[in-house]
Amino acid sequence: MNGQQQRQIEIIQAAALSAQSLPMLASGLWFHHDIRDNFYYASYLFAAAVDEEIQSLLNNPADSKKKAESVLERVLQLQQKDPDEPLYGHFPLNLNPSPELAKAHELPVELMGSLMVYFYARYGQHLGPELQEAFERALHRIYEGGFYKKPLQLFNHHEAKYTAAKIIFGQFYEDQELLQDGIASLKRTMERVTAQGMPEYGALPWFWHWVQAFTCAWELTAEPALKQQLAGMLDYLWRERALFYLKGAWVGAHSRGWPHDAPADRNVLHDYVQFGDFPLGDRMPRTEYAGFLCYPAPEDALRRALERNQPEVVTKQMIKIDTGEEIPLHSYAYVTKDYAAGGIWERVKEFDNEQIRWMVSFPVTGETGVNQLYFFHPGEGWREGDPRHQSEYAEVLYDKNRILTLFPVPEHAEQQEIIGVLPKGTWIRRVAGLYGQVQNGFVSVLLHGHYTFEELEDYNLVRLQGKPAAAAVEILGRDEAEKLAIGSLAAFAERMGGVEFILQQASRLGGKLIYTGISHQDLLELIVASPGQSVARKNGEEMNYFRY
């Protein structure tokens, strides 16, 4: 048994132990917020109950198996069984206030349908005869419903799941036409993402849906040529992941993220299984099928992810397709063994306005505190306590371990404050800004404007006001600090206290930021004429990020 398999068992054990102690609702389910969680936890509990090496950890394996089967049966009962209904073969999503009243929804079957095939193929022989028949009927309804019969247009996570499902159900039901459609879609998808990048950059949980869907297809495929094609897609996905990986963290810009993706990387189960170089911790917000599905990443991806001895600059261009228009986007990340910094140069409106423009990331520690640092102006969808949903009022400059941001917030904007998220650590507060030690990194946050600092349970909250407000972030890892003869936070703060962060020609909607810092002698300038109109310069020359 290799390390990846051992970590999968660890996840199965943890999910099963959680499931056996969950209170059962009157509906015969554990959750009403999302039907999929019932299927996932029942899968883990069932797997543990029939595995001779794991079942001894359960209070009563026979009762656990019976409970898991009961929940699986209830999930299948909620499928839309009427072939005349438009969502035939689908399941409801949110089950409140009553599962019987919940209407079928197009999302659950996208991923859960393929995973049901995997579960039945792996564990069907252990199911009771009635539940076996129920699974066979449910899977056939999914096949007949044909949720996957949609054309490739956006090359996003939905279409990735449709492509994988065509392959899975085409093989399962020996439907050659459907299978060939899936193979052709796989080829087109591979050509698109390798040539133009993934438009859903840093998007969690969507990236994991790509991984789950194609790993599921790979696991269920025996035909060598097709299995190799699926392996090629998965090699690409894991190489993409390795580029932006730092001990469980997903570094750089995110096109969208849920509360468990920012300001803390907690959607980490697939990373944990694959890499295993960080503690898992107690939180598992998206168990899904990480305990069952694992495609071993290629050796070069593993080396890149795990051997961060030398700093690396990662630049990417992605083509975002929006209402028929192709928009080039450019991301930048500087990755070291102690921290990573970077983001995306362009601001675009993403799904649910969840783009995170830039961040500084530290390794995942398994503790409750956050591991991300960033500043933003609140935009559409923002609310107190949820540090996401950024507005368009930010102009940026990225250069290795330094980030400059100016916030040209107009007078009519509903929110005037800039929000800053700082991880827990040791922080020294000065009028000019904050100096902190987070894990093995020293962080300087110089600010233009008046700020307040508040210690919350999981992170420190900064509120910044200025006309315009601006921030300069500079990070040093342990080795970088030693080269500068900095051995303590006090010494770092003293050295950074002499750094000039200048704002010239300031107006509410612009200005010229000038910054050098201590780790490099390059002069950085961010010149903002108005929102969306800025020039980034290094030593007087324009930084041509669009040449990526």
| DSSP output for 32-68 | SS-HHHHHHHHHHHHHHHH-TTTGGGSS-HHHHHHHH
Q: Which domain holds residue 499?
A: 309-547
383 and 293 in a common domain: no
pTM over the 0.75 mark: yes
Q: How many domains does the chain have?
A: 3
365 and 302 in a common domain: no
159 and 210 in a common domain: yes
83 and 43 in a common domain: yes
pLDDT band at 323 (very low <50, low <70, confident <90, very high): low
C-alpha triplet 252, 199, 235: angle, nearest 5°: 80
106 and 170 in a common domain: no
pLDDT in tens, 207-252: 999 999 999 999 999 999 999 999 999 999 999 999 999 999 999 9
Given a cut of 70, whether residue 455 has pLDDT beyond it is yes
- Helix 176-196 to helix 224-243 angle (10° resolution) is 30
70 and 47 in a common domain: yes
- For residue 261, the model assigns a pLDDT of 95
Share of the chain above pLDDT 90, in %: 93
- For residue 548, the model assigns a pLDDT of 66
Is 250 in contact with 265 (CB distance < 8 Å)?
A: yes
3-state secondary structure of 289: coil
**pLDDT mean over 70-85:** 97
How many Cβ atoms are within 10 Å of 282's Cβ, its own excluded? 10
Please check whether residue 135 lies inside any domain of the structure. Answer: no
Please check whether residue 367 lies inside any domain of the structure. Answer: yes
Q: Please, what sign has the CA dihedral across residues 163, 169, 171, 175?
A: negative
Given a cut of 70, whether residue 181 has pLDDT beyond it is yes
pLDDT band at 397 (very low <50, low <70, confident <90, very high): very high
486 and 369 in a common domain: yes
How many Cβ atoms are within 10 Å of 217's Cβ, its own excluded? 29
pLDDT band at 326 (very low <50, low <70, confident <90, very high): confident
354 and 238 in a common domain: no
21 and 53 in a common domain: yes
Is 167 in contact with 180 (CB distance < 8 Å)?
A: no
C-alpha triplet 7, 13, 19: angle, nearest 5°: 140
3-state secondary structure of 507: strand
Is 461 in contact with 423 (CB distance < 8 Å)?
A: no
pLDDT band at 546 (very low <50, low <70, confident <90, very high): confident
Please check whether residue 256 lies inside any domain of the structure. Answer: no
Please check whether residue 384 lies inside any domain of the structure. Answer: yes
397 and 356 in a common domain: yes
393 and 357 in a common domain: yes
**pLDDT mean over 383-405:** 97
Tell me the DSSP string of 135-172.
Answer: HHHHHHHHHHHTTT----SS-SHHHHHHHHHHHHHHHH
* Whole-angstrom distance, CA of residue 309 vs CA of residue 307: 6
Please check whether residue 404 lies inside any domain of the structure. Answer: yes
525 and 407 in a common domain: yes
